[in-house]
Amino acid sequence: MFNNSTILVTGGTGSFGHVFIPMILKQFNPKKVIIFSRDEMKQWQMAKTYVNDSRVRFFIGDVRDKDRLYRALDGVDYVVHAAATKIVPTAEYNPHECIKTNVIGAMNLIEACIDKKVKRCVALSTDKASSPINLYGATKLASDKVFVAANSYSGEAGTKFAVVRYGNVLGSRGSVIPFFLQQKEVGTLTITDTRMTRFMITLDQGVELVWTAFEDMVGGEIYVKKIPSMKVEDIARTIAPEAKIEIIGIRPGEKLHEQMIGFEDAPYTYEYDGYFKILPPIHGWGDDPSRIKDGAKVSEDFIYSSESNNEWMSSEDLNAWVENFYSAMIKI
């Protein structure tokens, strides 16, 4: 569907965009890929990579600005919504700003997509949106609900909306691995709790889940990638085995373990090869065969949580990923 199509990525200068853009240009032949973001310096730096590719365009704008979204979406076929305020402590201390971007921004994008007759839109979510305890998670849960419900009123435009949800992205900005690599230089790594676990996913896997959503969606689905877990302490000891570990306690709004599917969602959750799919309970969509397809319904007490996960990442696998990732970064 991406061949000869125009795709726009909100927040496209972030970690996701830096992987999504080259992957889509390599594997497909889009007519145009538009990076929509508010930071001119990040756009200027990113543009250097695509100076010889006329398919890549840059558009300064903010999802808080609905009028700017209307202009950016003119002639766009598909949208990936990656723009967000996502650092947990920042959101806790700046709640108004987090809500403006993550909730109001989502509402603005939905209305603009419908009015501009965009075909499909996939929004990126987070494990923190499942049973949230912090503001970031709460705003992303609200955003997820808004995107799901948007399928109710897309009207004659026929715009379809879906959500993808995944955990800690290896190597992404603000994530734990770059943080530990910095601390490794001083010989002391800080972790909040030795029991803490997190889901682990690569950006490539995240991009592939977005493609799955675009291809499979009927509208209103939340796609959850099957990914391994790892203890944060084990991540630290893998990154810097000789370093001292200092326990600093859980930060405001931080969970001991993350979950991507709570038991409340179990009645509407189906399992597939490589991912789960949460169907919306509204309008009877949770029982819609066109959305279920070949999925197998999970048990009534099903919970997909990082501490009870069936799959765990080994130190060897993490080491191999770190070496490959940073070797590639050096070549860039």
Active-site positions?
Answer: 128
Tally of residues, the chain: 332
Q: Which residues 6+ apart lie within 8 Å of 264 measured at CB?
A: none
**Angstrom distance (rounded) from CA 330 to CA 325:** 9
Closest CA to 219 of 155, 300, 298: 155
Q: Which residues 6+ apart lie within 8 Å of 74 measured at CB?
A: 116
138 C-beta neighbours (distance < 10 Å), count? 20
Burial 185-203 (b: 16+ CB within 10 A, else e): eeeebebebeebbbbbbbb
Report yes or no: 14 and 173 within 8 Å, Cβ to Cβ: yes
Closest CA to 110 of 118, 274, 44: 118
Amino acid at 25: L
DSSP H helical segments within the chain, as ranges? 15-27, 40-47, 66-72, 88-93, 95-99, 105-115, 135-149, 176-184, 203-216, 232-239, 289-292, 315-331
**Angstrom distance (rounded) from CA 67 to CA 114:** 14
